[in-house]
Chains A and B, each alone.
Chain A
Amino acid sequence: MNKQSGHLSEFQIAFRHFRRNRLAWTGVMILSLLYGGAVLADFLSPYSFKDENRNYSYAPPTSIHFFDNGRLAWPYVNGMKLSFDEYNKRVYQRDPAKHYPLQFLVKGEEYRFLGLFPCRRHFFGVEAPGRWYLLGADARGRDMFSRLLYGGRVSLTIGLMGAVIAFSLGLIIGGISGYYGGRLDNFLMRLCEMFMMVPGFYLLLALRAAVPDNFNSVQVYFSIVIILSFIGWAGLARIVRGMCLSLREREYVLAAKSLGLSDIRIILRHILPHTLSYSIFAVMLSIPGYILGESALSLIGLGIQDPYASWGNMLSDAMSIVRIKFAPWILSPAFLIFLTVVCFNVIGDALRDCLDPMLKAEGHRDG
């Protein structure tokens, strides 16, 4: 803000501090890749999330070949022949007669690029009737890789949306409760405790049961967001309330009152900003909870319904040990959930380190 005097704002100092943390920075990179993949899902994925082919049920990842009859060639894949062995188990064999070169910007199913203009080109793939599976196929022969990208749209955004809603609810309710105190405070805090008292997962199930089951996928998506944030706000509200109890005794709050500012303005402008550094990393650390919550709901079939993909409902296929044994790639969503959760936690921890007032002095030296 004050370029000429060389002063850095508190957040600029924190940002510099944050950038020095390599682990957290790696986390940011990985998350941007994942989110980027989710945003560009229809372009990056070779197939649509519901493009199924029963002939390729649990097809393994297609191997890519670089040599054709001993000579270096443009990477290509072969067709696959399905047969059954003596135990009636599916066996996929390479069919050297069919030869499909890998192509960039290959023509495929039509979609709207970024939801704006229609487009048929996919980033890479093979021409029909060839089919290839980067990460194998699921039970209905749908491409796992494509479904992971589409599933990221649900799983990754649900965490953010849930966190944003819970964050605003928590700040506002905590702020009002701490600022006014008295009976209102008592009432709001008992309400918080009611939500915190019920074990989260059961509350999740109960609330989900209260939502009609004939909802379409968009409605289900939003009901999950609302349910998750409904559970999440209470913890933040309690802590913000505690901070407000102390902040409202500051003299600048008295000064603001003496100048006739409205209560809402005082809460939003003069009290809540001072709780931000805490609430930002609290929210960052709460995002994995929302992602896991969505996955858990979808895993047991209460969340996003087939054919729509989310990492959780893709995992419901992996609930049987036999399938994991013969098609281990169906566990790949679990790996992505794990990766996302770890990234958010690492970033949250790093944010706490650089926003924590106890470390301020160090932050200044770095800046």
Chain B
Amino acid sequence: MNPPLLSLKNLTVTVSGTGREKVLVDRIALDVPAFSITALVGGSGSGKTTVGLSILRLLPLGLRVKEGEIVFNQEQLFHVPPERMRQLRGKEISMVFQEPLQALNPVFCVGYQIEEVLRCHTSLNRRQRQQRILELMDQVGLPDPSRISRSYPHQLSGGMRQRVMIAQAIAGGPRLIIADEPTSSLDVTLQARIMELFLKLKEELRLSILLITHDLGMVARMADSVAVMREGKIVEAGKTKDVLEGPQHPYTCQLREAMEG
């Protein structure tokens, strides 16, 4: 069997506040195989976003990785120099955030913000970049790309903004996308459409997706495998079907009941 694209081993993240340090992520292990969707499920505060950020080495001030390692494509992410890490972000691994309105800069039009990623990670010239922006926007299903590329984030609807963010995330041609609750801020019909988009992009671009969510329904429809997190620990993991049909841990049962209820 091929080695997984991304592999987290014994990852522990702590926050050093006043006095003793608190463990946010407790010795978790997780594999994301190539060309698959792996879901990381858990309630608020279970540490799932922290896991996502530590993969990109973008933990907020005060949080640090105490031990463990992350291997991406045979590279030890905690050992690569900062400059290499910057290249990896966006070009190999990129992230889609929960609140597109906050994750897009309000003072630039969205086309420019997609262009910035191309400028950093490709050697296209100005005209080729413009061409590529339109292609990307078309690929994520934005209507009338040439007009929307000149709009500002506040002029777009929530779904469109999320599509712009996805266009940004795939612009560098990454192999892994970390999707951090990509649909939580959208209404239900849009959620389904965005998830379809992710599935489509996964096939077209041969992506792997680490889906961070609290919505088991979505996991059931999309993910190949799932890991359930609670209070910083992974309590149960396995193939989606196995976990959802025969949950072993009481917390998974609770989540499942919540989904059905």
CB-defined contacts of A270 to chain B, threshold 8 Å: 105
State whether the Cβ of B232 lies closer than 8 Å to any Cβ in chain A: no
Which one of B95-103, B126-134, B246-254 is at the interface?
B95-103
Indicate which residue in A251, A258, A265 contacts B56 across the interface (CB closer than 8 Å). Answer: A258
State whether the Cβ of A98 lies closer than 8 Å to any Cβ in chain B: no
Closest CB in chain B relative to A265 CB, distance in Å: 7
CB-defined contacts of B58 to chain A, threshold 8 Å: 254, 257-258
Contact bitstring B71-113, A, C-beta under 8 A = 1, else 0: 0000000000000001111110011010100111111110000
Contact B109 A259 (CB under 8 A): no
Contact B90 A260 (CB under 8 A): yes
Contact A260 B103 (CB under 8 A): no
Q: A2-B155, A5-B155, A255-B97 are in contact. Are A260 and B121 (CB under 8 A)?
A: yes
State whether the Cβ of A187 lies closer than 8 Å to any Cβ in chain B: no
Contact bitstring A238-277, B, C-beta under 8 A = 1, else 0: 0000000000011110111111111001000110011000
Contact A252 B86 (CB under 8 A): no
Q: How many residues of B contact A (CB 8 A)?
A: 35
State whether the Cβ of A322 lies closer than 8 Å to any Cβ in chain B: no
A261 and B106 CA atoms in complex are apart in Å by: 17
CB-defined contacts of A262 to chain B, threshold 8 Å: 86, 120
Contact A260 B105 (CB under 8 A): no
State whether the Cβ of A1 lies closer than 8 Å to any Cβ in chain B: yes
CB-defined contacts of A10 to chain B, threshold 8 Å: 107
CB-defined contacts of B121 to chain A, threshold 8 Å: 260
Contact B86 A260 (CB under 8 A): yes
State whether the Cβ of A364 lies closer than 8 Å to any Cβ in chain B: no
Q: A257-B89, A262-B120 are in contact. Are A250 and B94 (CB under 8 A)?
A: no
A254 and B102 CA atoms in complex are apart in Å by: 10
CB-defined contacts of A251 to chain B, threshold 8 Å: 97, 99, 102-103
Closest CB in chain A relative to B122 CB, distance in Å: 11
Contact A255 B95 (CB under 8 A): yes
Contact bitstring B164-179, A, C-beta under 8 A = 1, else 0: 0100110110000000
Contact B104 A255 (CB under 8 A): yes
CB-defined contacts of A94 to chain B, threshold 8 Å: none
Q: A259-B94, A259-B169 are in contact. Are A254 and B103 (CB under 8 A)?
A: yes
Contact B120 A252 (CB under 8 A): no
CB-defined contacts of B46 to chain A, threshold 8 Å: none
State whether the Cβ of A81 lies closer than 8 Å to any Cβ in chain B: no
A249 and B103 CA atoms in complex are apart in Å by: 11
Contact B107 A273 (CB under 8 A): yes
State whether the Cβ of A7 lies closer than 8 Å to any Cβ in chain B: yes
A246 and B150 CA atoms in complex are apart in Å by: 28
A254 and B165 CA atoms in complex are apart in Å by: 13
Closest CB in chain A relative to B93 CB, distance in Å: 8
Contacting residues of chain B (146-192) with chain A, CB-CB under 8 angstroms? 150-152, 155, 165, 168-169, 171-172
State whether the Cβ of B201 lies closer than 8 Å to any Cβ in chain A: no
Closest CB in chain A relative to B92 CB, distance in Å: 9
A251 and B108 CA atoms in complex are apart in Å by: 15
Indicate which residue in A1, A256, A269 contacts B109 across the interface (CB closer than 8 Å). Answer: A1
CB nearest neighbor in B for A248: B61
CB-defined contacts of A260 to chain B, threshold 8 Å: 86-91, 94, 117, 120-121, 172
Contacting residues of chain A (1-15) with chain B, CB-CB under 8 angstroms? 1-2, 5, 7, 10
State whether the Cβ of B67 lies closer than 8 Å to any Cβ in chain A: no
A274 and B105 CA atoms in complex are apart in Å by: 10
A5 and B117 CA atoms in complex are apart in Å by: 27
Indicate which residue in B106, B152, B168 contacts A259 across the interface (CB closer than 8 Å). Answer: B168
Contact bitstring B44-63, A, C-beta under 8 A = 1, else 0: 00000000000010101100
Closest CB in chain B relative to A263 CB, distance in Å: 8
A2 and B117 CA atoms in complex are apart in Å by: 23
Residue of A10, A181, A255 with highest tally of chain B CB at under 10 A: A255
Q: Can you pick out 22 interface pairs between chain A and chain B where the beta carbons lie within 8 Å of each other? A: A2-B152, A2-B155, A7-B152, A7-B155, A10-B107, A251-B97, A251-B99, A252-B106, A254-B58, A256-B116, A257-B56, A257-B58, A258-B56, A258-B90, A258-B95, A258-B97, A259-B94, A260-B94, A260-B117, A261-B120, A262-B86, A269-B108
Which A residues are within 8 Å of any B CB, using their own CB? 1-2, 5, 7, 10, 181, 249-252, 254-262, 265, 269-270, 273-274
> Which 5 A-B residue pairs are closest in the complex by CB-CB distance?
A260-B90, A260-B89, A255-B103, A259-B90, A251-B102
